[in-house]
Structure 1
Amino acid sequence: MSTLAIEITSERTALVSGAGDEKVELSAENGQSIHAVIAQFSRQHSADAGSPVEVTVQEAGRSRQLTVAPDGKVAQSLPTGPIPAPADTPQPRPDHPVEEPVTMAVTPLDDSPPAGGVDTHARPARVARTPTSTSVLAAPEIPVGSQEPARTGLRGRLNTILNLRIVPKPESAEMRQRAAIASITGPLPGFSIVTIANPKGGVGKTPLAVGLNAIIAEHRGAATTVCVDVADVGGSLADRVSIPPRDGHDVLSLIAAEAAEPGSIRPSALSQYLTRQPGGDDIVAGNNGAHGSSLGYDDTHAAAQILSQHREILIADTGNNRLADSWQWATSRANVLLVPVPLRRDAAAAAHRMLLDLTATAGPAMMARTIVVITDGPGDAPMVEIDAVDAFLDAGVHSVARMPFEPLFASGERISPSKLRRSTTEALTVVAATVIDLIAHAAD
């Protein structure tokens, strides 16, 4: 099987190695994206070769492996041998062993888990280690042209005190955060739904929804994302956000207004039903029971249809009732499924059963768009983590990330993103980047 190594050097250009003796420069023109140009080039190369081609795409320190067949079909894959790299790409140092190859995994903050950082577990099921392969779990290199001085850590302090312009180390947490932010701000194919679900109560669904909504809005801009409480009755989203919604700012009122006058919910009218938070993120409160009915399947779909005209991402904060119609809609329509799991055996078991049931209904593709988020908290049983992570990865989930303990999440009080611990914000940024990457590359 022939191989291609493609490095995206800018929004419009890419450099190809392996297509001949010399490198080939690709250029996106006439409104095309560079990803479309890469796909077209890879398909043509495979057709000319008459055999599948293994393609490694490097972008902003991240790598993806694809297999392109002569008939034009593209599938994500693991490399069958060493991944070719451009000659000017820094290679892993001998004292940093290369990790097991992983497709579309979250990047951890360090080779050894830092205090309060993100520790990511991800691997394909039953794949032997390949010491000569490059892993996306390794620290990403400094993207081409990214020479901004360090702002955190020892180098950041030296820059501030001595007015220097020292750049961060390629393997530093700051560079990984920059890569994550770059992913969050990247293009999306269209309106997407991110569902946060675990049928066990008290596992942190709503805090994760609030935090993720705030992080995406911070980096993509205000009015790009909206978090909706889709619990059938009595969700807690309105009780956890910084600015509580006023009466009438809820999902059923939004649906009723559109039903009474179709097409009336224009941008100027949308603010009557959304509640803007300090960071520019919006929320729609759930059904408080005053309407005398639960939120149904058609109700949830109607709300999403309205919001899809005004926002890029809808984050669905689900309830605990797996039989509720709104829960069924949110999980079946999810482009990405986020599953928070505390280190308690009951919470892990409930999430695992939920995922197995969803897979039985929707097929294995459900696992490929699922991210499990292990959350720290009081009363954790650390011995549960190994069993839980193994069970989720063996089931085929996309990746398993880890969140540090956040007192504000656990307190039950209103969540102000500016008061979150730095480690929590960093972890949420990595999770948000993984969500955006999963959405963006689903159409590849």
Structure 2
Amino acid sequence: MTTSQVEVSAFPHVRAIVSANGTGEVVIAGNSRPIDAPDETALRREALTIVTDLAGVLSRPVRVYTEGPEGDGELVVHPDGNIDEVAAESNGRRRRAETPVSTPAPPVTSVPSSVPAPAVQEPQPAATQLPRTTSRDATAAPDQQDTSAAVTPAPDVPTRRSLKETSFLISDPVVQPATQGFRGLMARMGMRMSPSEAEMAERADIHAVSQHWPGPRTIAVVNRKGGANKTPTVAALSAVFARYGGGGVLAWDNNENQGTLGWRTEQGPHSSSVLDLLRDKEQLLSPLAHNALLAHYVHHQTEDKYDVLRSDENDEGDHEISADEVDAVHSVAAKYYRMIVMDSGNTARAANWRAMIGHTNQLVIPTTTMEDRAEAAKLTLQTLAARDGHSAKLAENAVVIISQWKPEDGDEARRIAAGFGPLVRAVVTVPYDPALKAGRIRHNALKPATQRAWLAAAAAVAKGL
């Protein structure tokens, strides 16, 4: 088929304009996208790229009207980048076809006998026009009499529906137009485009982490080895859940004595720790207590919208958190927060560690791409699987989060993920990001790919709640 015979939709109307002064633009459905290039050849190449991307999004060829110093023309650009030049006479035919003309109605012709006519229901004769009958008809047996004048039954009268069975709501969800990538650009230019699969997956993850559950949920982040990325995991997950879920998230440093969560997060206008909250737990559990009282004990993260309950950071103190104290703090936290994300120490035999597991709804096992950290993560799962029924269920339903220790650790991360895959419910890999290495952890400081990975990790955790 020649190019002049190919029928290509004229929607959206696309013009590619190249001027002699070195400027250009592509106009899609009336929305202009300027092109900046050093010469006319580069301008044409950039315009072709824009139109090819549009054809790829639409999954079909696109008609383009070109304007330039050498004259005007018309092209058909395919999703694979191939270009067809539309013949001039074809242009004329198309333009004439686009002008409406009055066309006389075709003459009525008889239907061939070979084509069956549609069934037509004849109207019933009026009651005063009874058919004539012969003497044979009159003397026929009742079951042999002519029934052509039989009265058809009246149609059923529709009954009223119950108000409880009636709804004017639209049941199918309305998919919002694309906001990302080339599809998002087209949507912002006025041409509604559906989101890509990647954007739809991101929306699903956002929906998962935005949920509120009927009652508080506790997430324990555990690994028996130090330096396994427990604290950054607690901070990153808390930020995602608080940002998308509207706050109500507490990150609690449940180390036996002194942890590092307070060092990696923002400090409030005080130096309170879990020991101060324990001292005033009766007041906080009182029916007269209100949420604002918590500001005396927790440290609010102004950008990431969650609160931090620090461990004791007094170098001169030697207080070790007991199981009863974990229970007491958890009672206070469950009263004021919808989600509690608990950091932990490295001793699975410690009383506060065991008490934490007793309150846990979802287990998270963080590790890095260093072999000893991954081995410690596996041993942590083994310990819990052999302890009791609740711990074994947590281990089976756990989420393993693997953070790359170095930028080049991608292959090692995939190898470790494959090893954990059969052991737990989900495994998520987070790329290397220097913003997680040291200093205060802030979600906005992470690279976009890292933010997306933590969103996926939080969504995997949310599915177990």
Common fold by TM > 0.5: yes
Is it true that 1:313 corresponds to 2:316 in the alignment?
no
**Equivalent of 2:372 in 346, 351, 354:** 346
Q: Is the 8 A contact 2:413 2:429 kept in 1?
A: no
What's the CA shift for 1:146?
Answer: 3.6
What's the CA shift for 1:210?
Answer: 0.7
Within 5 Å, which residues of 2 pair with 1:191-206? 191-206=216-231
Residue aligned with 2:429, SS = strand
Residue aligned with 1:309, SS = helix
Q: Is the 8 A contact 2:281 2:329 kept in 1?
A: no
Q: 1:308 to 1:158 in 2, by over 3 A?
A: same
Judge which range, 224-233 or 284-293, deviates more: 284-293
Name 2:191's counterpart in structure 1. Answer: 164
Name 2:182's counterpart in structure 1. Answer: 154
Name 2:428's counterpart in structure 1. Answer: 401
Q: Is the 8 A contact 2:258 2:313 kept in 1?
A: yes
Residue aligned with 1:373, SS = strand
What's the CA shift for 1:286?
Answer: 1.0
Name 2:329's counterpart in structure 1. Answer: 303
Q: 1:315 to 1:306 in 2, by over 3 A?
A: same
Q: Is the 8 A contact 1:352 1:391 kept in 2?
A: no
Which letter maps to 1:182? Answer: H
Distance 1:308 1:234 in 2: 23
Could you list the per-position Cα deviations for residues 260-318 of structure 1 after superposition, in whole angstroms to 9, with x for gaps in the alignment?
77526531211111111123211111121454311222112211100101111100011
Is it true that 1:209 corresponds to 2:234 in the alignment?
yes
Distance 1:266 1:252 in 2: 20
Is it true that 1:250 corresponds to 2:258 in the alignment?
no
**Equivalent of 1:423 in 418, 437, 449:** 449
Which letter maps to 2:291? Answer: P
Higher relative contact order (CA 8 A, sep 6+): 1
Distance 2:379 2:211 in 1: 34
Q: 1:390 to 1:176 in 2, by over 3 A?
A: closer
Name 1:226's counterpart in structure 2. Answer: 250
CA-atom RMSD, angstroms? 2.2
Residue aligned with 1:239, SS = coil
Q: Is the 8 A contact 1:250 1:286 kept in 2?
A: yes
Q: 1:258 to 1:199 in 2, by over 3 A?
A: same
Distance 1:380 1:348 in 2: 17
Q: 1:408 to 1:401 in 2, by over 3 A?
A: same
Residue aligned with 1:329, SS = helix
Q: Is the 8 A contact 2:212 2:338 kept in 1?
A: no
Name 2:299's counterpart in structure 1. Answer: 275
Q: Is the 8 A contact 2:417 2:428 kept in 1?
A: no
Could you list the per-position Cα deviations for residues 203-238 of structure 1 after superposition, in whole angstroms to 9, with x for gaps in the alignment?
21111111111111111102x211011111221111
Could you list the per-position Cα deviations for residues 18-59 of structure 1 after superposition, in whole angstroms to 9, with x for gaps in the alignment?
xxxxxxxxxxxxxxxxxxxxxxxxxxxxxxxxxxxxxxxxxx
Q: Is the 8 A contact 1:217 1:225 kept in 2?
A: yes
Distance 1:275 1:386 in 2: 36
What's the CA shift for 1:391?
Answer: 4.0
Q: 1:153 to 1:239 in 2, by over 3 A?
A: same
Give the gaps of 5 or more residues in structure 1. Answer: 1-142, 440-444
Name 2:397's counterpart in structure 1. Answer: 369
Could you list the per-position Cα deviations for residues 313-367 of structure 1 after superposition, in whole angstroms to 9, with x for gaps in the alignment?
1000112233322222223332111111111211111111111011100233122
Q: Is the 8 A contact 1:229 1:235 kept in 2?
A: yes
Residue aligned with 1:166, SS = coil
Q: Is the 8 A contact 1:217 1:280 kept in 2?
A: yes
What's the CA shift for 1:149?
Answer: 1.7
Q: Is the 8 A contact 2:254 2:311 kept in 1?
A: yes
What's the CA shift for 1:382?
Answer: 5.8
Residue aligned with 1:361, SS = coil
Name 1:333's counterpart in structure 2. Answer: 359
Distance 2:408 2:256 in 1: 29
Q: 1:382 to 1:178 in 2, by over 3 A?
A: closer
Q: 1:246 to 1:237 in 2, by over 3 A?
A: farther
Distance 1:165 1:262 in 2: 53
Name 1:388's counterpart in structure 2. Answer: 416
Distance 1:383 1:296 in 2: 41
Q: 1:317 to 1:200 in 2, by over 3 A?
A: same
Distance 1:380 1:322 in 2: 32
What's the CA shift for 1:164?
Answer: 3.2
Distance 1:181 1:382 in 2: 25
Residue aligned with 2:280, SS = helix
Q: Is the 8 A contact 1:149 1:156 kept in 2?
A: yes
What's the CA shift for 1:179?
Answer: 0.6
Q: Is the 8 A contact 1:258 1:265 kept in 2?
A: no
